[in-house]
Structure 1
Amino acid sequence: MSDTDNYQLSNAETAVHPHAAEKQTLTDSPDLTAALQSHSSNLFTVYPPRTGLLRVGWYKRSSQWRPYPSSCSAGLALVSVTTFTLGLILCQAKSVTSPAILSGAFFFASGLVQIITGIWAIVDNNLFGSVLLLCLGAFFMSMGAIVSDVFGTSSAYTTADDLNNALGIYLSSWTVFAFFLWTATFKSTAPLFVLTLFNWIFMLLYTIATFGDHEGVKVASGVFCFLVSMCGFYATYDGLMAANNSYAPIPESKWLRMPGSWNAPEETNNVGYC
């Protein structure tokens, strides 16, 4: 057995330099071609897109990599809890129409903590997961500032129409973002595709309802907001449950993936590390 077979990267090296295993193999071996052929299968394993991990494409995990836990389940849980409650309020469940009860959740649960989970997704080299969690965390935190008027945002407008028009303009930008987020899931999994689609429709309807003060459209936006939470809870369950801790983990088969991700890419060089 050669020295490269015995070589193991430290936690610090794998955390900072994900390609260090390949570099070490290439440097130490006298025959680069033989080294690549003999060690490539041990460097990484390729995995398909996964809903609970917010993986929208095939990815490869190095066998030398430090096994960080994923933060996506926590972030998805916070998205689900907030959108579950907000959806019911927008649907005027039990005649409740004000989302003021969510002020704390907007700031802390779906704001601060969710942003932390998004930062941790960066450590796991998860681009889509970090963008979704960070941006939605920022959105909910900004909504908390508007709802609670802690920065005097709402009181700065003299009439309700002025406030609604300003809020509608603000929501329009998030509708555009939600659309682009949805288009990033065309080769991911069906649940992620549906989640981001419902999120875009919710943003679109909520923007329209805010501009025109249409109660019917606002209720419809609440329905899609609630559906987002259902997809989020599914994703949370998928990421949290595994064979070692659950009797009913979700086996995401080929048929739960979008057609563009049914088959693994032929060139693993185009697959991202994590």
Structure 2
Amino acid sequence: MTNDVEKAESNTPPMYHAHPRKTEPSTANPSTLGLFSFASTTFILSLYNAQTRGITTPNVVVGMAAFCGGLAQFLAGMWEFPRNNMLGAAAFTSYGAFWMSYALIFIPGSGILAAYEETTTLPSAIGIYLLTWMFVTFFFFLVALRTHLAFAILFGLLTTTFGCLVGGEWAASVNSTKAGGIIGVLTALTAYYIGLADLLASQPNPIFNLPLGTWLGGSKKD
């Protein structure tokens, strides 16, 4: 019996022998990349929506929407999944997809805007598009109520921003669109704040820390 066991073990391919488990290297927190990418793109478009310096055409934001708010934020969302951060993974991936889809609307080769040249339904179509994202953002807001106050403020402001932009499209209201732009700037500044707080917290000896606060019994991170 003993000889049979020893013989079986000697014939076992090396790949099936147990090896000590290697320690995986720690993964950097991708949230700052996602937040800064979202904030920068939102900040630019919101200034355009507010008609800052008389700007009424938002096409310059297309590059930012495709690569910064889009690709970079989408990758940040993918990197959040192995960290088991479901809110960050879902939010970053969703808004990365949002920005890429938004950029596609304004790329002439897509034919999206050209399809509406003979109709007057473009504002209604864009309004429905924005309304859908308002719903998604509100769902994130509900979840954020049990995390940090800063995240609740971020998603609350973004939900309001989308609501104002929907009103601007459906009611052809310049003032509503401008209001969405102004609230969008506040949204971007909040995202910058959270991103900086995460970046500072990741450093061994930060010069200072930014509190994120608590909300409805959520966790606290100072």
TM-score, scaled to structure 1 = 0.69
Tell me what 1:11 maps to. Answer: 23
Match of 2:164 in 1: 205
Q: Which of 173, 176, 192 is matched with 1:217 structurally?
A: 176
Worse-superposed segment, 156-165 or 213-222: 156-165
Residue 245 to residue 95, structure 1, CA distance change in 2 (3 Å): farther
2:169 and 2:84 map into 1 onto residues whose CA distance is: 37
Aligned to 1:40: none
Return the alpha-carbon distance in structure 1 between the equivalents of residues 178 and 113 of structure 2. Answer: 22
Whole-angstrom CA distance in 2 between matches of 1:245 and 1:98: 44
The residue type equivalent to 1:142 in the other structure is: S
d(CA) in 2 for partners of 1:127, 1:149? 35
- Structure 1 residue aligned with 2:216: 259
C-alpha displacement of 1:166 = 1.1
1:96-117 deviations in whole A, cap 9, x for unaligned? 0111001101111111111111
How many angstroms apart in 1 are the aligned matches of 2:214 and 2:138? 20
- Name 1:244's counterpart in structure 2: 204
1:159 CA drift (Å): 4.2
Structure-1 separation of matches of 2:211 and 2:150: 13
Helix, strand or coil at the partner of 2:140: helix
Structure of greater Rg: 2
TM-score normalised by length of structure 2: 0.85
Cα RMSD after superposing both structures: 1.7
In the alignment, the residues of structure 2 paired with residue 261 and residue 183 of structure 1 have an alpha-carbon distance, to the nearest angstrom, of 12
Query: C-alpha separation between the residues in 2 aligned to 1:112 and 1:152?
Result: 21
Task: Work out which of the residue numbers 79, 82, 103 in structure 2 matches 1:123.
Answer: 82
Given the superposition, is the C-alpha separation of residues 183 and 251 from structure 1 closer, same or farther in structure 2, using an over 3 Å criterion? closer
CA distance in 1, matches of 2:119, 2:187: 28
Question: In the aligned structure 1, how far is the partner of 2:211 from the partner of 2:126?
Answer: 41
Q: 1:149 to 1:171 in 2, by over 3 A?
A: farther
**Cα distance, 1:251 vs. partner?**
4.5
Counterparts in 2 of 1:140-155, with a 5 A limit?
140-155=99-114
* Equivalent of residue 122 in structure 2, options 149, 163, 172: 163
SS at match of 1:68: coil
How many residue pairs were aligned?
Answer: 200
Q: Pick 1 or 2: higher relative contact order, CA cutoff 8 A, min separation 6.
A: 1
Q: Deviations over 1:216-243 (max 9, x none)?
A: 0000000111111011010111111135
Contact 2:154 2:187 in 1 (8 A): yes
Instruction: Show CA shifts across 1:74-100 (max 9, x none).
Output: 010001101111111111000001110
Question: Which amino acid in the other structure matches residue 77 of structure 1?
Answer: F
Q: Which sections of structure 1, spanning at least 5 residues, go unmatched?
A: 1-7, 13-65, 264-274
Name the structure 2 match of 1:185: 144
Query: Counterparts of 2:56 and 2:105 in 1: how far apart (Å)?
Result: 15
Q: Is the 8 A contact 2:70 2:99 kept in 1?
A: yes
Compared CA separation, residues 262 and 244, structure 1 to 2 (3 A): closer
Contact 2:147 2:219 in 1 (8 A): no
Distance 1:213 1:245, change over 3 A: farther
Distance in 2 between the 1:161 and 1:221 partners? 22
Name the structure 2 match of 1:42. Answer: none
| Partner SS, residue 150 of structure 1 | helix
Q: Partner residue of 1:55?
A: none
When structure 1 is superposed on structure 2, of 151-160 and 207-216 the one drifting more is 151-160
SS across alignment from 1:184: helix
1:179-201 Cα deviation digits (max 9, x unpaired): 11111111111110000000100
Cα separation, 2, equivalents of 1:210 and 1:174 = 14
